[in-house]
Structures are given as C-alpha cells and as structure tokens.
Structure 1
Amino acid sequence: MAIAPETETPARLEGMFKATVVCWILGFGSLLAWSSMLTIGDYYGKLFEKYHPSRALTLVYQPFAFGTIAILAYNESKIDTRLRNLAGYTIFFASTFALLLLDLATSGKGGIGPFLGICAIVACFGVADAHVQGGMVGDLSFMCPEFIQSFFAGLAASGTLTSALRLITVAAFEKYKNGLRHGVMLFLAICTFFEFICILLYAFLFPKLPIVKYYRSKAASQGSKTVAADLAAAGVQTKADDETMQQGRLTNKQLLFQNIDYTLDLFLIYVLTLSIFPGFIYENTGHHQLGDTWYPLVLITSYNVWDLISRYIPLVKWLKLESRKGLMIAILARFLLVPAFYFTAKYADQGWMIALTSFLGLTNGYLTVCVMTVAPKGYKGPEQNALGNILVLFLLGGIFAGVALDWLWLIGKDSF
C-alpha cells in the first residue's frame, strides 16, 4: 500500500519557499524557448520577410503543441510524469541549441531552406511545450495553489526577461556590422544555458524537497501512479494500489463537464490574446517615432512586463477573482480589445498603442492565474492531475485558434 504523507515540520515549511522558487524557474524554462522565438521576431522578420515569420512560426508551433497535449492528456494517468517533464526540458535544450547551430551553419542567410529548418525546430518546441506545461501543471495541481501561481509567473517572466535581454543585445550591437545577428547569437546562447539549468533542477533538486515529497506521497496514497518515479528519485518507496486508484475516480469526461466553464475561460483568454499578439504587434501597428526596430520590441516588452506583474495580483486575496460567473463576464468583455486595437493602430499614436498592449498583458496574466488556481480545488490528487492536463489542453487549443485568427488582420493588405 502507499505510504502515508509526512506530517508538518519546519523543514517542510522551508521546503515550501525553495519549491516556490524552483517552480518559478521551471515555469521560466518551459516557455523560454518560445519566448525567444517571439523576441527575435525582428531578426527573422528582416531575414524572411515574405514568409511572415511572426505569424507563420506561431502557426507551425501550435498544431504540434495541441496535438501532443491532446494525446498526453487522454493518457495522463498512465504516463510517468518525471520522464515526461525531463523529456520536455531536454527537447527544449536541444532545439534551442539547434536554432543557434542552424544560424551559424547558414551564416545568417535567408531563403526557403533555412526557414524550413527553423520551422522544424519550432515544431519540436511545440512538442516539448505539451510535455512540460501539461506535465508540470498536472503535477502542481495537487500541491499548493502558490506553486501553480509561481509556475505561471515564471512563464510570464520568460517573456519579460527575454524582452529585456533582447533590448540590451540590440542596443549593444546595433552600431556594428551584422549587429542584429550577433545580438541574436548571444541571446540564443544564454537561453540554451538556462534550459540546461532547468533539466538539472527538475532531475535532482525538485523531487527531493520535503513539501514536494509530501504532496506526491499524498497523491500516491490516493492512487496516483504518475508520481512513482519522482518519489523513487527522492528515495521514497511506494506501491501502487490499483483498487484504490479506481475507487470513486472521476473520468476525464466527468471532470471536463464539471469544469466546462473553466476550460472555456482559458480557451477564450488565449484566443483573444494570440489573435493580436505577436503577429498584429509586429506587422499591423504602423510606423512611429521609435522606428521599425525599436517600436515592436517596446510593444512586446510592455505586454510581457504587465503580463508578469498581473500574475502576482491574485496573491492579494481581496484582489483575486474567484466567482465562476465573474470570470466568464470579465473574459467575454475582453473581446472589446479587438476593435480597440484596430482603431488605435489606424488613428492613434504610439503612446496609446503601448498602453493598450500593456492592458492586453495585464488582463491575460491576471485571468489565467485566477482560473488555474481556483479550478483544481475539491478533488483528489489523481483527479487534480487529470484536470490540470485538461486545462492546459484548452489553453493550448485557445492559442492554436488565436494564431489562426491572427491571419485575418492581413485581409486586404497588399502583402498578404
């Protein structure tokens, strides 16, 4: 039979702080590769201008992410979470490094060949994202809500910090010959290093933290098989009890119907966000005083900074929106941003666009954390793991639909 969870200890409380920090770093690493692709969109935009890389690469990424998470979510109860997450972070590391090698091998030249190579690497990013994001969210869903919040704050931080790093590299190299490319090379090298750090943290530190062992032991006692390898890595022996696992366990279909509003919330949040960001930001905001190089980078940074800040707002209890009806109303009202962006790009100056992009990030991060921390409550460990995977499935589904709708902004443009 499964072991009983350990009791509350000062070591466990100390482990909670460490685990929260590690969750933030792992969240950072799980979106770092893709944030890097978005942030160097200025470079690829000049290199592959006629292929609309900011839109095309996003559209390549999402089918692989969505297809993989659909398979993994359906089979989540049978999949070793440790192997799944380590595979995801390893693919992120290898693919980011491959992106760097590809640019070195082609000497930064454009053309259909290098672009197809980048598309293949981006497809690997999508597969890795589905492994890590679904696996981590499922795993953290039966732990503290603070871990979920910290993980999603790390996701947003990947965009913020890559944007800041990109601004620094652009400023440092813009006066040099091929300065834009040299900045991208340094940028990708740093991102590759951080992905390697995430592999080490998840493999050797995270499973051994007392509070993580506590929650995984509790999940194992409720019949979860997905935590066995992580517990074994931490020196905790368990024996799966199939009868316990099946007793009273809700099916994925039942979990979906009980939480259909939460899944739709996430789908609609990301349909709206990705129908605007990043394609519209790079290609449809016009020309302003900041120039073609700096203007989209400032907009991307504004979005990422406010997306990060907003993910900490729900930590203040009275600012956290927990009403199911209230969340749906707020998310539907957010679609007013579509005409707002259209008219701002057409008639307003850059200050209004920066403010509107910041608000897009603010609402995206805040509403995401509210939904993700409220939804898993009231279930046993195996059900919370399954629900976490279902929520990520709809989140990635929303992103997929959003990047497809993003192409509608090109209708009527000569370059379409």
Structure 2
Amino acid sequence: MTIAIDESSRIPTRLGGKPGAIVVCWILGLGTLVSWSSLLTIGDYYYQLFPKYHPSRVLTLVYQPFAIATIAILAYKGEKLNTRKRNLAGYILFFSGTFALLLLDLGTSGKGGLGNYIGICVIVASFGVADAHVKGGIVGDLSFMCPEFMQSYLAGLAASGTLTACLRLVTKAAFEHSKNGLRKGVILFLAVSTFFEFLCIILYAFVFPKLPIVKYYRAKAASEGSKTVAADLAAAGITDASSESVDDSKQVERLSKKKLFMENIDYTLDLYLLYVVTLSIFPGFLYENTGTHSLGSWYPIVLVTLCNLSDLISRYIPLIKKFELKSRNGLMIATLSRFLLIPCFYFTAKYGNQGWMFVLVSFLGLTNGYLTVCILTTAPRGYKGPEANALGNILVLCLVSGIFSGVALDWLWLIGNSDF
C-alpha cells in the first residue's frame, strides 16, 4: 500500500480516521498514567498499612529516578529505536506491574510490614521504567502529527488522575462502613487499572497504526528520514515509504539533539519548572501538610480529586484558538509566576480555611494542565519528522526531570515536623 505525501502541507486531505485517532490517543494517555494515578489516589490505604514510611513521598521518589534514567537513555538513542516495540514494551510492563500489585495485596491479605513495602517499591520502580518507554515514545511519535493528537494524549494523562480520584470518592463512600472497606476499594482500583493497560496494548498494537491519518503522518516522517516508524508502517501494511529513499545529504542537514535543545531551551526550562512547582506540592503536601479540617479523612482525597479535575479541564482550553498561548515570552512568564503558589500554599495551610485551599489546588491544576498542552503542542511545530520526534523525547526528559526535582523538594515541607 502506498500513501501519497503532499510536501506542501502537513495536513493530509481526503483521509479518514482523525476522530478515531483522537479517541485512541486519549485512551493511550489514560493508560500511561492510570497505574501511577491509582497508587497516588489510594495513598490513604498505604498510610494505613505503612504509617511510618511516608508512602506518598517515598513511592514517588522511587518512581522518578528509574523514569528519568530510562528516558535519558532512550532520548539519547531515540533515532535508532523501534518505537512500536518501545511503546508496547512500556504498556506490557504497566500491565504486568499493576497485576502484580493486585496479586501482592491478595497474596498478603492486605498486611503491612517492611517486606511488603519493599515489594511495592520494586513494582513502582518498574512503573518508572514503563513510563519512560511510553511517555517519551508516544510524545515523540505524536510530535510530527497534528496538534490535536498531542492535546488528546495529554488530556488522557490528566483523565487518569481524575478517573481514579473520582472512583476513590465513590469507593470510599460505598465501602466506608463495611468490613475491610478500604481494601475492597483498592482491589477494585487495581483491577480497573489492569484492564485499561490491557486495552492500551490492544489499541496501540492493532488499531492505531492502521488508521489512515496515522499512516499518512508516519509515511511522511519516513520520507523525511525517520527510522523509528518503520515497524509501525510495516504493521499497517506499508513497506515502500521508508527512510531508505532519503539520501545522505538530507541526513547531514538534520539538526543534532544539542542544536534542538539549544533552539528550544526556553520550552525545556518551562516544562522543567512547571513540574518542579506542581510536584513540590502534589501529592505529598496535600496528604501530610494541610492539617485537620471538618472533612476529616475525606479532605486530602477531595483535594487530590479537585487538582486532577481542574488539570483535566484546563487541557481542553487550548483547543479554543484565541485562548491558546503561543508566545515564548508569555509561556516563560506564566511558568515563573507559578512559584508564588509555594508561599500561598504554606500560609493557607497554616492560617487559612479549607475554602482557600480548594481555590489554590484548583489553580495549581488549571495552570499545570493548560501550560503543559501549550508547550508540547507549540514546540515541535515547523520541524520535520525525525527532529520533531527527537524534540518530543527531549521535552519529556525535561518534564520528568522537573517531576523528580519537585518530588525531592517536596520533602522540605517536613522540616520542623516532629513526626519526620
């Protein structure tokens, strides 16, 4: 099968599958974070099992080094990697890890102890490796496709947190007064997450590569010298749109990773600082440093749900073109201004009521989701397939680095805490 490529435009004509691709991208985004979001959302269960081990902070800190080390290696070798195998390996690892968490809880009958905690940490480390495979691979792949695909994938990432947070509220209400109610909700969580990971494997392996518009973009990327799409094109029945037709002179003209990084250093810094602020507050501060309020044990769960929901809503705002922020200076100013949230959260937790905390948490989520979509849909524009793919991986590396730094800084909230 051959797909004609119009070099004068990045937008294919008379090709179907765009609505289906948007839906699949959303589900793939959901599957990228649903396992991790489930762990964050059932934090109250792990605080009950391991009250002295700071699970929301420790598990996040375990997750991130594996994610950042893996994405650094994959970003460096990105041009030679088989994207299809990379993404499928990530989703299979997510599926296996989530299923292992479920089996671990069932096998130990929901008991605590250091041994079980270490087992959970090992599984969480595997989630970090899987995250690096999938997030970098999918973002790199979507960077040379239409921005709506990227936006839908990023919305799916946020939807994972919203879905698990809302499900946590439902299960807490349903099982609150039943025997082992908290554990029953957790088992349901892990079962739902395992199902979604399996669904992502099927969609990415058999549905997404065969959509006409996806085949178009991948064939175009291959004609521009991309080697990462060959396996996906082969899976779609395309064998004659490969990088073999690209001469050596075009290969030389391609920008190096260093050059790409320097040209987009403001975007990379934006993503890094954006997630430094977010992860220095979410979720550790919300679970451990917001004090006692009238909502009792519901309070941190409501805060996490509100943050996730506002993050999800804000990721659709850039679809309204007049509200999309494209200015590089504007993005930098907006990113830097979020550092004001840190003293705001400190003084609100110490002196304010829960109403003000709800406002701050909503603003944290809104700005995080909105700016993430604006940066990741704007930065790759104008680059050819191989360069857009490489830039996508670089941006994800900076995003994960920001998460890791934010998680590390989150421990500073415990200074002066007698229970530390």
**TM-score of the superposition, structure 2-length normalised?**
0.96
Q: 1:246-265 residue pairs with structure 2 within 5 A?
A: 246-265=251-270
Instruction: Check the 8 A contact 1:3/1:220 in 2, yes or no.
Output: no
Shift of 1:378: 1.1
Cα distance per residue 1:158-216 (max 9 Å; x no partner): 00011111111111111111110011001111111111000000000000000000000
The match for 2:366 is 362
User: Take 2:83 and 2:171, find their aligned partners in 1: how far apart are those partners?
Assistant: 37
Q: 1:66-215 residue pairs with structure 2 within 5 A?
A: 66-215=68-217
User: Take 1:211 and 1:8, find their aligned partners in 2: how far apart are those partners?
Assistant: 7
- Which of 37, 42, 45 in structure 2 is aligned with 1:43? 45
Shift of 1:354: 1.1
Cα distance per residue 1:311-353 (max 9 Å; x no partner): 0001111111111011101110110000000000001111111
| 3-state SS of paired residue (2:382) | coil
- Please state if 1:236 is matched with 2:271: no
User: Take 2:220 and 2:12, find their aligned partners in 1: how far apart are those partners?
Assistant: 13
Identical amino acids, percent of aligned pairs: 71
Instruction: For 1:330, give the aligned amino acid.
Output: A
Instruction: For 2:267, give the aligned amino acid.
Output: Y
- Which of 323, 329, 335 in structure 2 is aligned with 1:331? 335
Instruction: For 2:101, give the aligned amino acid.
Output: L
User: Take 2:359 and 2:173, find their aligned partners in 1: how far apart are those partners?
Assistant: 23
Instruction: Check the 8 A contact 2:12/2:216 in 1, yes or no.
Output: no
The match for 1:284 is 289
User: Take 2:3 and 2:48, find their aligned partners in 1: how far apart are those partners?
Assistant: 58
Shift of 1:20: 0.6
Cα distance per residue 1:130-160 (max 9 Å; x no partner): 0000000000000001110000000000000
Instruction: Check the 8 A contact 1:321/1:370 in 2, yes or no.
Output: yes
Cα distance per residue 1:274-326 (max 9 Å; x no partner): 0000000000000101112x111100000000000000001111111111011
| 3-state SS of paired residue (2:292) | coil
Q: What value does the CA root-mean-square deviation take over the aligned residues?
A: 1.2
Instruction: For 1:80, give the aligned amino acid.
Output: N
| 3-state SS of paired residue (1:322) | coil
Instruction: Check the 8 A contact 2:224/2:243 in 1, yes or no.
Output: no
Q: Give the 4+ runs in structure 1 shifted more than 6 A.
A: none
User: Take 2:261 and 2:189, find their aligned partners in 1: how far apart are those partners?
Assistant: 40
Give the paired residue count: 412
The match for 1:343 is 347
The match for 2:413 is 409
Instruction: For 2:58, give the aligned amino acid.
Output: A
User: Take 2:13 and 2:289, find their aligned partners in 1: how far apart are those partners?
Assistant: 55
Q: Unpaired runs of 5+ in structure 1? A: none
Instruction: Check the 8 A contact 2:303/2:361 in 1, yes or no.
Output: yes
Shift of 1:3: 6.7
User: Take 2:362 and 2:406, find their aligned partners in 1: how far apart are those partners?
Assistant: 18
The match for 2:274 is 269
Shift of 1:415: 1.1
Instruction: Check the 8 A contact 1:3/1:221 in 2, yes or no.
Output: no
Instruction: For 2:172, give the aligned amino acid.
Output: V
The match for 2:222 is 220
Shift of 1:5: 2.5
Cα distance per residue 1:238-279 (max 9 Å; x no partner): 343263561310010000000000000000000000000000
User: Take 1:362 and 1:213, find their aligned partners in 2: how far apart are those partners?
Assistant: 34
Q: Unpaired runs of 5+ in structure 2? A: none
User: Take 1:70 and 1:130, find their aligned partners in 2: how far apart are those partners?
Assistant: 9
The match for 1:373 is 377
Instruction: For 1:371, give the aligned amino acid.
Output: I
Shift of 1:374: 0.5
User: Aligned in 2, Cα 1:350/1:205: closer, same or farther, shift over 3 Å?
Assistant: same
The match for 1:299 is 303
Instruction: Check the 8 A contact 2:3/2:216 in 1, yes or no.
Output: no
User: Take 1:305 and 1:86, find their aligned partners in 2: how far apart are those partners?
Assistant: 28
Instruction: For 1:285, give the aligned amino acid.
Output: T
| 3-state SS of paired residue (1:185) | helix
Shift of 1:4: 4.4
